[in-house]
Amino acid sequence: MQPNNYRIDEAKYRSLLKYIRLSVTEKYEFPQEIVQIDGVTIATIGNFSASTGKPKSKKTFNVSAIVASALSGKEVLKYKAELPPCKNRILYIDTEQSKCHCHKVLHRILKLADLPTDQENDKIQFLVLREYTPDQRRDIIRWALHEEQNIGLVIIDGIRDLIHDINSPSESLDIINELMRWSSYYELHIHTVLHLNKGDDNTRGHIGTELNNKAETILQISKNNENGKISEVRAMHIRDREFTPFAFEIGEDSLPHLVEEHQFKKNRMDRLASYTDMTEQQHRTALESTFAECAEYGYQSLLEALKKGYESIGYSRGRNTLVNLCKFLLEHHAITKNGRTYSYNSSFHL
**Amino acid code (one letter) for 34:** I
Q: How far apart are CA 287 and CA 293, in angstroms?
A: 11
pLDDT score of 190? 98
Mean pLDDT (the chain) is 89
pLDDT score of 186? 95
User: What sign for the dihedral angle of Cα 258, 58, 239, 191?
Assistant: negative
Q: How far apart are CA 232 and CA 227, in angstroms?
A: 11
pLDDT tens digit at each of 350 positions of the chain: 454 455 778 888 888 888 888 888 888 788 899 999 999 999 999 999 999 988 889 999 999 999 999 999 999 999 999 999 999 999 999 999 999 999 999 999 999 999 999 999 999 999 999 999 999 999 999 999 999 999 999 999 999 999 999 888 899 999 999 999 999 999 999 999 988 766 555 666 788 878 888 889 999 999 888 888 999 998 888 877 778 899 999 999 999 999 988 877 655 545 566 788 788 888 988 999 999 889 999 999 999 999 999 988 888 888 888 999 999 999 999 999 999 999 999 888 87
CA distances from 66 to 37, 42, 69, 129 (A): 10, 11, 5, 21
Regarding pTM above 0.85, the answer is no
pLDDT score of 273? 61
Give the bridge partners for 248, in sequence order. 231, 258
- Give me the half-sphere count of Cα atoms (radius 13 Å) on the Cβ side of residue 191: 28
pLDDT, tens only, 115-162: 999 999 999 999 999 999 999 999 999 999 999 999 999 999 999 999
